[in-house]
Amino acid sequence: MNGLMIMLIAIVVLAAAYLLYGRWLAKTWGIDPEAKTPACEMEDGVDYVPADRGVVFGHQFASIAGAAAINGPIQAAVFGWLPVLLWCLLGGVFFGAVQDFSAMYASVKNKGHTIGFIIEMYVGKIGKKLFLAFCWLFSILVIAAFVDIVAGTFNGYEADGTLIAANASVATTSILFILAAVGLGFFLKYVSMPSGVNTAIAIALLIACVVVGLSLPIYQSTGFWHLFVFIYIFIASVVPAWALLQPRDYLNSYLLIVMILASVIGIIAYNPEMNLPVFTSFCVDGSYLFPTLFVTVACGAISGFHALISSGTASKQIKNERDMLPVSFGAMLLEVMLAVIALVTVGFLATGSTLPEGNPPQIFASAIAIFLTKLGIPESTSSTLILLAVSAFALTSLDSVARIGRLSFQEFFFDADTDTSHLSLLVRICSNKYFATALTLVLAYALAKIGYTNIWPLFGSANQLLGALSLVACAVFLKHTHRRGFMLWFPMVCMIAITFTALTQKIFTLSGDLLTAASTDFFGDCLQLVFAVLLLALGVVVAVMGIRRLTEPVDPSAGSCGESVKE
């Protein structure tokens, strides 16, 4: 089968999934277009900021469509293209899109609270504390992995000192994006213009940044860009959402969607062959198809990180409940399309069962650049632009996950009934957004020095486990508000089995390397082992508490608001 046929199958499946399954879910759970959403009811100008559907979709898609949607399918392709394709399509529709929609739905119906607060409301305070601790540790992992990816795409030097013009241009353009986003944020907030005018301004800024970036490359080392990105995400996580988060994601969403459209057109024009085998083996280099495939594909099928975005930031920007389906379910399906495109690129460049050399973003950019030559676009230019878009994927995810990590740490010290007027000194310090952000980023910086390739297996396992816990929380919410939630049960059980297995394997591998002195990075492996043990322990306890609550009978006299909190 060729790449064009794979892509066409994916488009048909995903379109049908949205029109049939997505709309059925919205009808089953209930959407009230007249309801006042948390963004409007609790508007504070910082986190609760109502925005148009296109702006929120831009934020959601730019945040969730991180480098994982490209990295995961390419790395998992060692098992062949068919297992990856099936998991992306089936997992993306029945696992990932359902999780994203249910997480946003539960949050909007509960004053825009995060999954952590929903667990407190429907499972208990202890469950909420443990879940927030899990989210905080997970955020550190994501930040560490994605910062290393971004710094690598900005790195202006080869190992021998040779200049890398494409990376340097990507760095300049990304900096200009940040500056343009700030200006656009103030414009959108204080100047009322038709949406068409706003779109035209955003596209003009985007083009200007790209043109200047290609002309004025900035050459700096990976170490410099590590520090730069950490300083940037510190600022991005504490300033009001309208000042940077919303406009930057709005700008980047155009770049990302254009990249996907260009990739689709390039595949249609080139009609690439899939040189990768349909299936290779159930065991490759000591890694078994189960659970490796499922945790490696990660965001291309289901990602717990998406639930944090859906309930942590995007739900606080939803202006009308009708926007929830396209923003959450729709954005996830578009990310699945990106994962399928990534699979086509690695299948095209592979030689038999051997994957092409280079990291996943380079593989992706190289293949798409070759496809676009059929349209007369120079390979060097398109490669730079695609690499820019990939970098934008990761950087916009960092904007959001740094804020999520900060919010998770802050929320850990509060309960629904906490008297905020009488807080201890320790709680006031820990709940301070500047302290919470700084602590999160310092730990992530230490972990980033290990390199994303070492962090990725742990990130994938933790990410999928977070997805399982989010499904548990949403299933409990649906049951205790007298809504049907049976469609979450099978994905929930599958993800628990997959992730518990993967984390247990990771713990045994790391422990064995440390005990036999086979570890090449003692500090890094120790840090990973600590994270793996903590994540598994927290995950087991939260899952058990949630499932126990899920199997309890529901008081038929209870209302659908679910206001009571279990101790």
Give the type of residue at 417.
Answer: D
Other CB atoms within 10 A of residue 520 CB:
8
Nearest one of 529, 393, 518 to 58, comparing CA atoms = 393
d(CA 336, CA 436): 33
Quick: pLDDT tens for 461-471. 888 899 999 99
DSSP string covering 432-496: -HHHHHHHHHHHHHHHHTT-HHHHHHHHHHHHHHHHHHHHHHHHHHHHHTT---GGGHHHHHHHH
Q: CB-based burial of residue 59 (10 Å sphere; 0-12 exposed, 13-18 middle, 19+ buried)?
A: buried
Quick: pLDDT tens for 174-212. 889 888 888 888 888 888 777 778 778 888 888 898 889
d(CA 381, CA 210): 11
Q: CB-based burial of residue 435 (10 Å sphere; 0-12 exposed, 13-18 middle, 19+ buried)?
A: middle
Other CB atoms within 10 A of residue 187 CB:
15
Enter the DSSP assignment of 557.
T
Which residue, chain included where needed, has tokens 């994905």? 491
d(CA 79, CA 429): 48
d(CA 249, CA 305): 17
Whole-number pLDDT of residue 259 = 84
Other CB atoms within 10 A of residue 563 CB:
9
Residues of the chain with confidence (pLDDT) below 50: 559-567
Tokens of 319: 């202006």
d(CA 304, CA 499): 11
d(CA 316, CA 228): 28
Whole-number pLDDT of residue 109 = 94
d(CA 412, CA 407): 8
Whole-number pLDDT of residue 561 = 45
pTM (2 d.p.): 0.85
Helix 433-448 to helix 522-550 angle (10° resolution) is 130
d(CA 50, CA 47): 9
**Number of alpha helices (DSSP H) and beta strands (DSSP E) in the chain:** 24, 2
Instruction: Give backbone dihedrals phi and psi of 186, rounded to 5 degrees, phi first.
Output: -65, -40
Whole-number pLDDT of residue 565 = 36
Whole-number pLDDT of residue 88 = 97
